[in-house]
């Protein structure tokens, strides 16, 4: 097995969960087992290759199995069929073999249009989650009555599975975009509010005192101390919120979810187009990882003092 | 200078903790600090020095008694009382210069004026090269100097300093002592200066206080004659004066006996 290593240097702050940083440089001529021990990317590539090999073994027709794959395509489609589904979803193609009529992607939209529609919903939901969740958190952190009375409802809301109340939202806001955005908003705002409250309670009181002794008004204390001081927690909250919103996206798009990557995943599943479902799952997963890395990068750029002061 | 502009600590006691297991940090304290005094406060660790400073700063309210400035009661922090904290309290989301300028910014001073002032005070504390670094890139002593520059730049009437030179090397410490004396001589500001160094207290102060351990009580209160507004004597000259050595000895023994 040949693992391509060229151009893949370990990035100390990249990757998903490498808190225990690997060393900066591992010689390319080092034996594989050294690279595995020292380089997370090597490890990941090997794991991915192993995964693909297992997939391939399970989905390839074998002579000893009567020329059938170990798992039937309906349950686990082969790698090429998933790839074909991916290509189909991104091109104009005949509606069926030997038919003249051509259609765009899947259900009238290219795959990227499905993804974009979902990202838009998430973006709007997250935007409102921040616009409402941040001030609510600040209010709850500073006014006891509000915190005491509102907190139980936030915890209540947080514990509900989105599938439980999507029907209600559809009754209230219709089957179109509004109810979907509401669902994503409701999933996203509690983590932001809770992170804001945690951030405020973590502010060192002398940092407030110092500002007051320098003549800061109430508003100046909030803008110069409170808001920047909670920024690291807030970004963490947004990261969690985005994760929540992303995992509820299929629920949000269960009904009338086309275009939408979650809707596409659900619909293709119900129509037994498993290769397309798996394509959607892969796209959903990769997008989530990319979004998460973007927020982590923002974290590094916007709050470089995190953990240092 | 009229007496009514002075800072008066009137029958103040301070307790911490819940009612049934409270700790007394300050026993009844009466103290009048006249405008223009350079008051140095020494005493063993944990005796209540910081507590007294925080009361005057308005960070905590006295359990008993009251503190007034110019006759009006202190009910909270204010820009008339600048504070240099015992452990540096800077804002890591701003660079060093912005930290120093913050008081001026709150006062609405123009950006150019702020820059000029911060450059002056950063130069004074020797941080010019670090003006655009983040505060967490500074060493402990540098952070302390940054704090001092921040308070001086905001130009308060009272300067409350809690062991400001504790983390500095002897040379820097001496230089900043002289700078502070210079500022005090020129501006006639009122300074409360907490220190563990008896030598520093006697050298800097126009008045030296010693506090006994818990519950804190002021057990020594004498004028020190060595630094006066308007005149400057060389540091070595002061430190060799018999009167200086004599006062230093008495302050030292009062701290020892207060244990
Ligand atoms: N916020 C607080 N809560 C409870 N106890 C406190 C608090 N602040 C101070 N104390 C107690 O009050 C006493 C005096 O503390 P203070 O910080 O004033 O001492 P200090 O003289 O400044 O000591 P050091 O020289 O070590 O800084 C100590 O016993 C301390 O434990
Ligand atoms: Mg102290």
**Are residue B199 and residue B95 in the same domain, yes or no?**
no
- What is the model's pLDDT at position A6? 40
**Are residue B253 and residue B166 in the same domain, yes or no?**
yes
Q: Please compute the mean of the pLDDT values over residues B222-236 and round it to a whole number.
A: 71
B155, B173, B204 - which closes a domain: B155
Atom 5 of ligand 1, residue of closest alpha carbon: B16
Which residue stretches of chain A have pLDDT < 50? 1-24
For residue B132, what are the domain limits? Answer: 90-155
Summary mean pLDDT of chain B: 88
Q: Which pTM value belongs to this model?
A: 0.81
Label residue B232 by pLDDT band (50, 70, 90).
Answer: low
Residue B1 located in a structural domain = no
**Are residue B251 and residue B169 in the same domain, yes or no?**
yes
CA B142 to centroid of chain Cα atoms: 17
* Token code pair at residue B83: 């504070």
d(CA A154, CA A159): 9
**Are residue B172 and residue B72 in the same domain, yes or no?**
yes
**Are residue B74 and residue B165 in the same domain, yes or no?**
yes
**Are residue B52 and residue B111 in the same domain, yes or no?**
no
- What is the model's pLDDT at position B154? 92
Cα-based distances in Å from A169 to A152, A185, A263: 21, 12, 17
- What is the model's pLDDT at position A5? 39
**Are residue B138 and residue B166 in the same domain, yes or no?**
no
Is residue A249 within 8 Å of A122, Cβ to Cβ? yes
A228–B contact, CB cutoff 8 A? yes
CATH number at residue B191: 3.40.50.300
Structurally, chain B folds into a number of domains equal to 2
Domain boundaries, chain A: 28-76, 111-302
Q: Is B23 in the pocket of ligand 1 (CB under 6 A)?
A: yes
Quote the ligand 2 centre to A56 CA distance (angstroms): 69
**Are residue B15 and residue B95 in the same domain, yes or no?**
no
Q: Nearest C-alpha of chain A: how many angstroms from B73?
A: 16
- What is the model's pLDDT at position A42? 87
Q: Is B17 in the pocket of ligand 1 (CB under 6 A)?
A: yes
Is residue B94 within 8 Å of B102, Cβ to Cβ? yes
Residue B85 located in a structural domain = no
**Are residue B64 and residue B190 in the same domain, yes or no?**
yes
Give the number of the ligand closest to the Cα of residue B56: 1
A201-210, B20-29, B237-246: lowest mean pLDDT where?
Answer: B237-246
**Are residue B113 and residue B238 in the same domain, yes or no?**
no
B155, B172, B196 - which closes a domain: B155
Is residue B243 within 8 Å of B225, Cβ to Cβ? yes
**Are residue B123 and residue B12 in the same domain, yes or no?**
no
Label residue B103 by pLDDT band (50, 70, 90).
Answer: very high
List, for residues B31-86, the tens digit of each pLDDT value: 999 998 999 999 988 889 999 999 999 999 999 999 999 888 998 999 999 999 99
Quote the ligand 1 centre to B53 CA distance (angstroms): 11
- What is the model's pLDDT at position A21? 42
Enter the CATH code of domain A111-302.
Answer: 1.10.3720.10
A229–B contact, CB cutoff 8 A? yes
d(CA B73, CA A203): 28
Residue B2 located in a structural domain = no
First to last CA, chain A: 47
| Closest residue by Cα to residue A190 from A254, A128, A143, A142 | A128
Partner-chain residue, chosen from A212, A214, A231, that has the shortest CB–CB distance to B76: A212
Q: Please compute the mean of the pLDDT values over residues B15-30 and round it to a whole number.
A: 87
- What is the model's pLDDT at position A302? 92
pLDDT over 70 (residue B159): yes
Q: B230 Cβ partners below 8 Å, 6+ apart?
A: B185
Contact A213 B82 (CB under 8 A): yes
Chain A CB contacts of B107 below 8 Å: 215
Is residue B99 within 8 Å of B137, Cβ to Cβ? no
Residue B181 located in a structural domain = yes
Residue of A nearest to B86 (CA): A206
Cα-based distances in Å from A46 to A50, A145, A289: 6, 55, 19
């Amino acid at each position: 097995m040949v693992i391509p290593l060229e151009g893949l240097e370990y990035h100390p702050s990249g990757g998903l969960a490498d808190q225990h940083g690997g060393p900066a440089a591992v010689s390319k001529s080092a034996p594989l087992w050294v690279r595995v021990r020292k380089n997370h990317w090597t490890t990941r590539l090997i794991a991915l290759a192993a995964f693909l090999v297992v997939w391939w073994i399970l989905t390839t027709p074998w002579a000893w199995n009567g020329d059938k794959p170990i798992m039937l395509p309906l349950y686990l489609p082969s790698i090429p069929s998933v790839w074909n589904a991916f290509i189909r979803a991104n091109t104009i193609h005949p509606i069926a073999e030997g038919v003249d009529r051509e259609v765009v992607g899947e259900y009238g939209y290219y795959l990227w249009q499905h993804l974009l529609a979902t990202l838009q919903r998430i973006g709007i939901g997250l935007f409102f989650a921040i616009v409402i969740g941040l001030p609510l958190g600040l209010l709850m952190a500073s006014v006891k009555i509000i915190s005491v009375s509102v907190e139980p409802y936030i915890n209540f809301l947080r514990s509900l599975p989105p599938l439980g109340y999507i029907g209600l939202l559809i009754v209230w806001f219709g089957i179109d975009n509004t109810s979907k955005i509401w669902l994503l908003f409701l999933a996203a705002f509690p983590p932001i509010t809770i992170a804001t409250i945690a951030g405020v309670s973590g502010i060192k009181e002398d940092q407030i005192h110092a500002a007051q002794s320098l003549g800061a008004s109430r508003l100046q204390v909030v803008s110069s101390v409170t808001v920047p001081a909670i920024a690291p927690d807030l970004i963490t909250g947004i990261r969690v919120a985005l994760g929540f919103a992303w995992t509820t996206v299929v629920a949000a798009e269960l009904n009338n979810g086309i275009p939408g990557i979650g809707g596409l995943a659900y619909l293709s599943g119900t129509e037994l187009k498993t290769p397309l479902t798996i394509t959607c799952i892969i796209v959903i997963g990769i997008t989530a990882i990319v979004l998460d890395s973007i927020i982590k990068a923002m974290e590094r750029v916007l709050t470089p003092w995190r953990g240092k002061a | 200078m009229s007496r009514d502009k002075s800072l008066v600590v009137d029958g103040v006691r301070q307790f911490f903790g819940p009612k049934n297991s409270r700790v007394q940090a300050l026993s009844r304290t009466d103290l009048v600090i006249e405008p223009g005094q350079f008051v140095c406060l020494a005493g063993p660790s944990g005796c209540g020095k910081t507590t007294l400073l925080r009361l005057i700063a308005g960070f905590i309210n006295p359990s008993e008694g009251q503190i007034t400035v110019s006759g009006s009661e202190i009910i909270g922090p204010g820009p008339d009382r600048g504070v240099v904290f015992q452990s540096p309290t800077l804002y890591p989301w701003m660079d060093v210069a912005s930290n120093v300028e913050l008081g001026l910014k709150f006062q609405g001073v123009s950006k150019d004026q702020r820059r000029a002032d911060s450059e002056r005070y950063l130069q004074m504390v020797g941080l010019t090269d670090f003006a655009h670094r983040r505060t967490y890139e500074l060493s402990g002593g540098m952070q302390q100097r940054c704090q001092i520059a921040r308070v001086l730049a905001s130009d308060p009437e009272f300067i409350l300093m809690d062991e400001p030179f504790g983390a500095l090397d002897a040379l820097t410490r001496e230089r900043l002592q002289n700078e502070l004396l210079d500022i005090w001589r020129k501006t006639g500001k009122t300074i409360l200066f907490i220190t563990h160094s008896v030598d520093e207290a006697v050298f800097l102060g126009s008045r030296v206080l010693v506090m006994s351990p818990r519950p804190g009580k002021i057990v020594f209160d004498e004028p020190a004659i060595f630094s006066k507004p308007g005149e400057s004597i060389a540091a070595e000259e002061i430190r060799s004066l018999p009167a200086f050595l004599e006062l230093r000895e008495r302050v030292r023994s009062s701290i020892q006996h207060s244990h």
